[in-house]
Amino acid sequence: MGRYQKPGFWRSLTQAWRGMLYTWKTQGHLQFHVFAGIIVLFFAWWSEVSRFEWLILILAIGSVIGAEVMNTALEIVVDMVQPNFHPLAGMAKDVAAGAVLVTAIQAVVIGLVVFFPRLYRFAYQIF
């Protein structure tokens, strides 16, 4: 492939999956977020959320996973260009981790908005 040729669709897709598998294997936080997302989706199915709520929950889960993957990419690049400790390199990593935290907090708030009324009704029926 020449210097300025774009890779084909299937090659790009293979490279993207390779990146996802690397992130899955090396980042415990991604594994936690995927596991939490699966639990949320199961609970959404069990509590029969609306189609709109499904979309919002899927968007929230995808945002957290996407932020975690981007955080991993940024950490790899920072480690590549600055293998020794540098305060700005560390700050870049912290800021990227902060972006993951923001999306995770957003996802939790969305989950509370979607599920709290259902949990409240469920608890009210039991007690």
Question: Which one of 68, 72, 107, 110 is the catalytic residue?
Answer: 68
Q: Is 53 a catalytic residue?
A: no
Q: Is residue 25 annotated as involved in ligand binding?
A: no
Residues 6+ apart with CB under 8 A from 47: 115, 118
Residue 53 among known ligand-binding residues: no
- In three-state form (DSSP H/G/I as H, E/B as E, the rest C), the secondary structure along 82-104 is CCCCCHHHHHHHHHHHHHHHHHH
Residue 49 among known ligand-binding residues: yes
Question: From the annotation, which residues make up the binding site for a divalent metal cation?
Answer: 75
Give catalytic residue positions.
Answer: 68
Question: From the annotation, which residues make up the binding site for ATP?
Answer: 75, 93-94
Question: From the annotation, which residues make up the binding site for substrate?
Answer: 46-49, 68
